[in-house]
A and B are shown apart, each in its own frame.
Chain A
Amino acid sequence: MTVRTLSLAYLAAILVAPVSLIFWRAFEHGWHPFWAAISNPTAVHALKLTLEITVVAVPLNTAFGVLCAIAIVRHRVPGMGLVNALVDLPLALSPVVVGLALYLLYGRSGWFGGWLNAHGMRILFAYPGMLLATTFVSLPFVVREVVPVLREIGTEQEQAAATLGASAFTTFRRITLPAIRWAVAYGVVLTTARCLGEFGAVAIVSGGIAGRTQTLTQYVQASYENFDQTGAYAASVLLAALAILTLLLMTVMRHGDRSS
């Protein structure tokens, strides 16, 4: 009982209070200012850009994550231990450092930056750089969800499928994928949440130009710094709503997982 009270109090203080406060401040003066704030073109553009990054980064990391998990669990190749450790790097490394590293690689005087610039390809302060940064920081989630499930299901079902005549691809599609589908789904939800909320790495590589390279999180910061509190709160509410939506989706899926 005391443990429950304690943990609930902790959650209330750390999570619920600040988020509720955001909602309260956003709607303090009713719907109208909120609507005006999120329908202004800069905000709409920021939301669009965030979604554009997310819909590319998530499938990319899902496909890579599943392949990588299979490589880690199924193939006893030397070096896979290193890959396994490397996958966690984005969790351990501060996003700011990631942004800086990309800056050093793709900046005008960076390793690739000079050549790419000479050929008219812009990575930094443009969509590709922001996508790279977001993909980097959201990389581990699918791998981390899928690896333990793959370990648990073992290889016997796959071998059985092989003796029944199924090709490697058919086995993957009909046996492996259905067995890991919930893990992939959780991974996708977590990756999505991470992509939507990314700030640090993107802040460094995007330049944060309003209406051009400003994501929703950056829009929140910019609005706040410009004393546009309503705009900041409204955009925050939007972010929080997206996050809550993904988490709800996850809860629904967990339920489905248990009942199957």
Chain B
Amino acid sequence: MAIEARSVSKKFGDFAALDDVSVDVASGSLTALLGPSGSGKSTLLRVIAGLEVPDAGDVFISGREATALAPQKRGVGFVFQHYAPFTHMTVWENVAFGLKIRKWEKDAVRSRVDELLDLVQLAGLGKRYPSQLSGGQRQRMALARALAPEPEVLLLDEPFGALDARVRVELREWLHRLHDEMHVTTIFVTHDQEEALELADSLVVMNKGRVEQVAGPRQLYDEPANEFVMSFVGSVNRLDDGWVRPHDVELGHEPNGSTREAQVLRVVRLGFETRVELEREDGQRLHAQLTRDEADELELRDGDIVYLRTRKTRTFSR
């Protein structure tokens, strides 16, 4: 294991940011800490980096006890949500900082920084100051700076949070490629389930300072451990008789034994996907997710009466 957190607790005043959290992160993995704001995911990341000291519990990095270790000595690279660029240094100097601290030879610093600027596609921008970069470029500079001293672990706090939607998707793909090339154990914090499902090979779902489930993307979606995970990861209908994913709702014009009657309230066309908002005969509202072709075939109009069948309904014991 690259990182192990054992029964970590951390309080800020009365607020329990982390409540007996244990997490294992495999070497070389790309792990997402996923949860709503206030779930403790950023605090856990900061505890791993040594930027917060836990009230209880232990942290191991590469098998070494690190709980009381200063952040300087953890061999961890950290990318802050707002990148924390050194504003009075050029891009080049920012990336070189960790190497100069470690007293690398001048030539080694130069070749390492140049190599990284190349890697993050900032070659040629080394003489600029952070204020002269775009958000995405600043993010990549922060990444190069964190990677420069060859950390064992790379930690990213909401790495795409401050970027606009298009840049975000580009950087996501780029980070994935980067991880494939570098194989450095990476943990990133996000509240965006799509981002987590797309990037991570392992997801840690957190809520109210606790870990709700640890699983791969597919298992997390198909076999959520509880109601929280079911509702937080992917969209869902909550009905009296259980939980059902919108794409597990089938619609037809004819009743048969197991179907229930419902009225179409609204048909929303979202490109390839069509969302149908429905009200069942017992007054419960839900929505179905169809492909465009399926929806076209049914010729659904607002106000239509349809018959619905749910493929997979889940119930959770409380």
Contact = CB atoms under 8 A, between A and B. Distances in A.
The judgment on whether A and B are partners is yes
Interface of A: 153, 156-157, 159-167, 170, 174-175, 178-179, 260
A164 B51 contact: no
B98 A178 contact: no
6 contacts: A156-B82, A163-B74, A164-B97, A164-B148, A165-B149, A166-B97
B87 interface: yes
Contacts of B98: 164-165
Contact of B51 (A159, A167, A178): A159
B88 A178 contact: yes
A159 B87 contact: no
B78 interface: yes
Contacts of B82: 156
Nearest to A170: B101
A85 to B, nearest CB: 24
Interface in B77-109: 77-78, 80, 82, 84-88, 97-98, 101-102
Given A160-B84, A161-B86, A165-B102, 16 more contacts: A157-B84, A160-B86, A162-B50, A162-B70, A162-B72, A163-B49, A163-B77, A164-B101, A164-B146, A164-B148, A164-B149, A165-B73, A165-B149, A166-B101, A170-B101, A174-B97
Contacts of A174: 97
Contacts, number: 61
Contacts of B72: 162-163, 165-167
Given A175-B86, A179-B87, A159 B102 contact: no
Nearest to B80: A156
Contacts of A156: 80, 82, 84
B126 interface: no
Contacts of B101: 164-166, 170
Interface residues of B, number: 27
B97 A163 contact: no
B51 A163 contact: yes
B145 interface: yes
A108 B142 CA distance: 62
B88 A159 contact: no
Nearest to A177: B88
Contacts of A165: 72-73, 98, 101-102, 149
Most buried by B among A157, A178, A260: A157
A99 B13 CA distance: 45
B149 A160 contact: no
A162 B86 contact: no
A179 B88 CA distance: 7
Most buried by A among B76, B77, B84, B146: B84
B57 interface: no
Contacts of B50: 162-163
B71 interface: yes
Interface of B: 49-51, 70-74, 76-78, 80, 82, 84-88, 97-98, 101-102, 142, 145-146, 148-149
A160 B87 contact: no
Most buried by B among A163, A166, A167, A170: A163
3 residue pairs, one from A and one from B, having the closest CB atoms: A164-B98, A156-B84, A160-B84
Contacts of A167: 72
A160 B46 CA distance: 11
Contacts of A170: 101
B157 to A, nearest CB: 10
A157 to B, nearest CB: 5
A157 B76 CA distance: 16
Most buried by A among B74, B86, B146: B86
Nearest to B148: A164
A160 B70 CA distance: 13
Contacts of B78: 159-160, 163
Given A164-B98, A164-B145, A159 B86 contact: no
A163 B87 contact: no
Contacts of B85: 157
B149 A159 contact: no
A174 to B, nearest CB: 8
Nearest to A174: B97
A163 B101 CA distance: 11
A205 to B, nearest CB: 42
Contacts of B142: 160
A166 to B, nearest CB: 5
A13 B129 CA distance: 45
Contacts of B88: 178-179, 260
A163 B76 contact: yes
Given A162-B72, A163-B76, A164-B149, A157 B87 contact: yes
A156 to B, nearest CB: 4
Nearest to A166: B101
A190 to B, nearest CB: 23
A218 to B, nearest CB: 43
A162 B149 CA distance: 13
A164 B82 CA distance: 16
A137 B50 CA distance: 42
